[in-house]
Amino acid sequence: MSDFWLYEIGTALGEVKLNVPQLIRESGNTREGLIERTGFQNVYCANDLTQGIDLALETLSSSGKNWLGIANPDACIYVTSTSNFVAPGNAHLLQEFLGLREDCFLMDLNDACTGFLRALTIAESLISSGTHTNVLIVLSDTYRKLFKPSDMKVSPLFSDAASSVLVSKHKITNLIEGIQGIHLQSMASYFVSKGSKATDLTISRTTNETLRESLSMNGGGVFNFVLANLQGVLDKIEIELGVNPIGKTHWIVHQGSRAVVNAVENSLGVQRDSLFRAAEYGNTIGSSIPFQLKSLDSMDEGHEFIGMLAFGVGLSMGCKVVKVL
């Protein structure tokens, strides 16, 4: 079982704050309980000229960039499904913008809600193999450019956002204010993907004059996928871990919507809305778990593990359990 240090560097949201109840009223949509099911009071939209990599750079303030100079990452994993170009990926652009070393191992992941867990798994592997020491993980997406504000299947849900963390083999000194590190040991992980359900959540190229690409989501299909696979994923984690993790774990769940987080809470047997933390900022896609890392500040001392659960594009689901050292 490998151990590593995880440093939360920063998060960022699109510049424009949108009130979800107002969006719903303006759309003329009167579906009963829509606001309660989505759960979000606000979502955030990037300006027309702002791209995901701009939000990513915002997570790295000038002081953060200086700190990265000290950390000197030798690998960078960039997770997005809304990159600047088809190729090269955003990791290559970020290498230039941040002045990362030229021999930095660069990887782009075309992923979304489970992307952070996949990137963390890869970072752990790079470190445990002995080939790399400090892996920068950056995530960003600007989904609100992919649909009209009046599309109530997706508009009350998604926020344009970015996040960045550093995964390191060693404890790093000279931390700047605002950057916190936590020593973790990887205990169990499991991923499940069903390409047969891929069309339930897609980004497609379009000939629409106002949208270069468009997002389509069958919310009910995604919800049913979570319900159908959640217990199986938790069972696999329990087998790998050797104990039932539910009562011993501080859970961080992808904030898809209030309804789907409530369904996860039911399966975990925890208090309703105790794991729904994104009412004020919305579904931040791949950045959903990094946005919640600050919740570790209020982690119950009785919890032995941290469990991270995500689901979405693929359709896919992933769960990782780590132990706080």
**Residues 195 and 77 placed together within one structural domain of the fold:** no
Give CA–CA dist 244/254, Å, rounded: 21
| pTM for this predicted structure | 0.93
Q: What is the mean pLDDT of each run of 10 residues along the chain (325 residues)?
A: 88 95 81 86 96 93 64 92 88 91 95 96 94 95 91 93 94 72 92 93 72 81 94 92 80 96 93 95 97 81 86 94 92
**Residues 60 and 145 placed together within one structural domain of the fold:** yes
**Residues 174 and 35 placed together within one structural domain of the fold:** yes
Question: How long a stretch of residues is the chain?
Answer: 325
Contact 34, 21 (CB under 8 A): no
Report pLDDT for 66: 64
Which residue is associated with the tokens 């996928």? 225
The CATH number that applies at residue 275 is 3.40.47.10
Number of separate domains in the chain: 2
**Residues 160 and 208 placed together within one structural domain of the fold:** no
E strands, the chain, are 3-13, 16-19, 42-45, 75-79, 105-109, 134-141, 161-168, 180-193, 201-205, 213-217, 249-253, 305-312, 316-324
CB-based contacts of 203, cutoff 8 Å, min separation 6: 81, 82, 146, 213, 214, 215, 216
**Residues 186 and 174 placed together within one structural domain of the fold:** no
**Residues 132 and 205 placed together within one structural domain of the fold:** no
Give CA–CA dist 311/122, Å, rounded: 18
Distances (CA, A) of 255 to 65, 111, 233, 261, 284: 28, 16, 18, 7, 8
Report pLDDT for 165: 94
What tokens were used for 20? 């979800």
Contact 117, 178 (CB under 8 A): no
**Residues 9 and 115 placed together within one structural domain of the fold:** yes
Report pLDDT for 209: 55
Strand order in the sheet with 105-109: 105-109, 75-79, 134-141, 161-168, 3-13, 180-193, 316-324, 305-312, 249-253
**Residues 154 and 224 placed together within one structural domain of the fold:** no
Q: Domain of 318?
A: 182-324
Report pLDDT for 67: 65
**Residues 174 and 191 placed together within one structural domain of the fold:** no
**Residues 145 and 261 placed together within one structural domain of the fold:** no
Report pLDDT for 205: 74
Domain edge (last residue) among 145, 180, 215: 180
Report pLDDT for 117: 97
What tokens were used for 245? 């993790």
Domain edge (last residue) among 180, 215, 243: 180
Burial class of residue 17 in the structure, from the number of CB atoms within 10 Å of its CB (0-12 exposed, 13-18 middle, 19+ buried): middle
Contact 254, 272 (CB under 8 A): no
**Residues 210 and 174 placed together within one structural domain of the fold:** no
Domain edge (last residue) among 180, 199, 218: 180
Report pLDDT for 278: 96
The one-letter amino acid code at 154 reads: V
**Residues 173 and 306 placed together within one structural domain of the fold:** no
Residue of 277, 305, 304 whose CA lies nearest to 291 = 277
Report pLDDT for 150: 86
Alpha carbons within 13 angstroms on the beta-carbon side of residue 133 total 8
